[in-house]
């Protein structure tokens, strides 16, 4: 369930999606480093996740499943979902940041894009992809899951979003710098458009 949200606000929510192992965290981190001088305009959303703080990947707020459920019942999340046995939440405080005209970047999920579009007035979707071989190698290298869990991730059926006319796709099969620079340029162009 998504709480009521203000219809105003000038900022955009950029939702980054893509399969596990495509390198979403890396592309986001690269771009946010490049855009550090624009921190007054561009901000990374710190997700709430029922995953240990030291599990690797993104900087997130780690909570227990019980704490997550309690917060959800109190309306603390603008968007929330479950995947791979974990719960993810986008804080409701994002509404205020968008109302200030900021461009927010959130690591999202293809399965809940409708939830993002319901929660926020302006949403841009960036799909990070990579070749199956690259994805499999990255999942093995990060050593966060068992081989069976990796196979399950690779076989997971997700919504097809390729036909979305408002989708920007970035291939991260090659050097991180290439995909990172493309994403940073996309974020910056959106932030500049909102400021003008």
Q: List the binding residues.
A: 18-25
Cα separation, 56 vs 35, in Å, equals: 22
What is the Cα 184 distance to its own chain's centre?
A: 14
Cβ-Cβ contacts under 8 Å for 115 (sequence gap 6 or more):
2, 79, 80, 81
Element (H, E) at 61: strand 61-62
Which residues contribute to the annotated binding site for ATP?
A: 18-25
Residues in the chain: 196
Asked whether 119 and 167 are in contact (CB, 8 A), the reply is no
Other CB atoms within 10 Å distance of the CB of residue 167: 14
| DSSP reduced 3-state for 134 | helix
The closest of 38, 8, 87 to 188, measured between CA atoms, is: 38
Tokens of 31: 């771009």
């Amino acid at each position: 369930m998504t709480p009521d949200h203000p219809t105003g606000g000038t900022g955009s929510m950029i939702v980054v999606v893509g399969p596990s192992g495509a390198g979403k965290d890396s592309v986001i981190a690269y771009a946010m480093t490049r855009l550090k001088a624009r921190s007054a305009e561009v901000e990374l959303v710190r997700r709430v996740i029922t995953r240990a703080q030291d599990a690797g990947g993104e900087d997130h707020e780690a909570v227990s499943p019980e704490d997550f459920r309690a917060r959800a019942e109190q309306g603390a999340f603008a968007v929330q979902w479950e995947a791979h046995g974990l719960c993810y939440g986008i804080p409701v405080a994002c509404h205020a940041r968008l109302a200030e005209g900021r461009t927010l970047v959130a690591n999202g999920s293809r399965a809940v894009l409708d939830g993002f579009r319901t929660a926020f007035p302006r949403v841009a979707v960036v799909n990070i992809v990579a070749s199956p071989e690259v994805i499999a190698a990255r999942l093995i290298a990060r050593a966060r899951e068992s081989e069976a869990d990796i196979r399950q991730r690779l076989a997971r059926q997700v919504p097809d979003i390729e036909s979305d006319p408002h989708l920007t796709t970035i291939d991260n099969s090659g050097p991180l710098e290439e995909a990172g620079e493309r994403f940073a340029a996309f974020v910056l162009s959106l932030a500049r458009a909102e400021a003008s």
